[in-house]
């Protein structure tokens, strides 16, 4: 789609050249969603895709994924030695638009969009990631940088805690989280449709804890740690009652709560088998 209100495009290769925010500024990464809809408020595009961040880097304690890492780069990374990374190709292939956006769409663009059907935030929530957020300052002053948990970032459909001019620079995942065993289960109207509900079950060998991340059916993803004191269905129901359930043409609240229960049961059964899919 032509964005007819755009007056200028700024595409730095160096993050330090990013301008301070003025009304009408809009960040763009892959542009796969931004150019799919009219953007009447946008006057200047600030393109983050050319910034020379390392797409994925590892340290002894963290795996750091740059916001402008594309789905293709995420899927193509060598995740051997970081077994939970096998979840990324599964999540990427679960996007309704996967084949169209694969080479261009970025992790940061997906997180910034904050769709209920978003695939990246549930995965990062499961892995206890933190997002590095940056607000450029005026007149060459140092940028403001803060770290927030994936759990705190998305607050609703297309709603996040990002302030004016703030962008996602990186996703920081504790390296230990990559030893978790994960199972993703999704429900959609068709194989190519976006998710109506999705659950990621995770078993942590270090703590013995089992968690469920519930998404797609809720307006933002929610993670619970299972307790032996109540049934899985009771715990999933309690979580979906405590958070806003999405109601749209893909399903009402009761249907989506039912899907969450069913997917949770399926995911946990798969997790209990020795040769489960990631």
**Contact residues for ligand FAD, defined by CB under 6 A:** 26-34, 36, 48, 67, 95-97, 101, 104-106, 108-110, 112-113, 115, 117-119, 167-168, 194
What is the number of alpha carbons within 13 Å of residue 219 lying toward its C-beta? 14
DSSP letter string, 151-180: HHHEEETTEES--TT-EEEEEEEEGGGGGS
In contact, 263 and 237? CB cutoff 8 Å: no
Minimum CB separation of residue 10 from ligand FAD in Å reads: 13
Minimum CB separation of residue 57 from ligand FAD in Å reads: 17
Angle between helices 253-272 and 232-242 (to 10 degrees): 140
**Nearer CB in complex with ligand FAD: 34/245:** 34
**Nearer CB in complex with ligand FAD: 124/203:** 124
Distance from C-alpha of 94 to C-alpha of 186, rounded to nearest angstrom: 8
Token reading at 99: 């084949």
170 Cβ contact list (under 8 Å, min separation 6): 53, 64, 65, 66, 67, 131, 132
In contact, 197 and 187? CB cutoff 8 Å: yes
**Nearer CB in complex with ligand FAD: 129/168:** 168
Report the SS3 class of residue 19.
coil
**Nearer CB in complex with ligand FAD: 143/232:** 143
Minimum CB separation of residue 211 from ligand FAD in Å reads: 21
Minimum CB separation of residue 158 from ligand FAD in Å reads: 8
Residue nearest to ligand FAD (CB): 109
What is the number of alpha carbons within 13 Å of residue 148 lying toward its C-beta? 20
Minimum CB separation of residue 72 from ligand FAD in Å reads: 12
**Nearer CB in complex with ligand FAD: 54/227:** 54
Minimum CB separation of residue 161 from ligand FAD in Å reads: 11
**Nearer CB in complex with ligand FAD: 163/252:** 163
């Amino acid at each position: 789609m032509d964005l007819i209100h755009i007056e200028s495009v700024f595409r730095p290769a160096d993050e330090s050249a990013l301008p301070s925010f003025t009304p009408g500024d809009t960040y763009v990464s892959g542009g796969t969603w931004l150019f799919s809809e009219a953007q009447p408020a946008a006057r200047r595009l600030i393109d983050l895709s050319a910034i020379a961040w390392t797409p994925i880097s590892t340290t002894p304690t963290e795996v750091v994924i740059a916001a402008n890492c594309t789905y293709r780069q995420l899927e193509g990374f060598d995740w051997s030695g970081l077994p939970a990374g096998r979840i990324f190709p599964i999540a990427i292939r679960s996007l309704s638009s996967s084949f169209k956006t694969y080479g261009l769409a970025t992790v940061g663009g997906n997180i910034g969009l904050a769709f209920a059907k978003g695939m990246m935030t549930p995965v990062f929530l499961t892995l206890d990631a933190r997002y590095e957020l940056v607000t450029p300052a005026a007149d060459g002053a140092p940028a403001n940088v803060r770290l927030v948990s994936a759990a705190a970032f998305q607050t609703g459909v297309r709603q996040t805690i990002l302030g004016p001019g703030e962008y996602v620079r990186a996703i920081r995942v504790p390296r230990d989280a990559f030893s978790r065993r994960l199972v993703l289960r999704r429900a959609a109207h068709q194989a190519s449709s976006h998710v109506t509900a999705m659950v990621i079950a995770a078993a942590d060998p270090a703590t013995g804890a089992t968690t469920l991340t519930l998404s797609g059916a809720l307006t933002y993803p929610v993670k619970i740690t299972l307790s032996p004191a109540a049934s899985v269905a009771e715990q999933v129901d309690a979580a979906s009652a405590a958070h806003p359930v999405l109601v749209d043409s893909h399903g009402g609240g009761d249907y989506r709560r039912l899907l969450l229960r069913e997917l949770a049961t399926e995911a946990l059964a798969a997790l209990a088998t020795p040769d489960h899919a990631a």
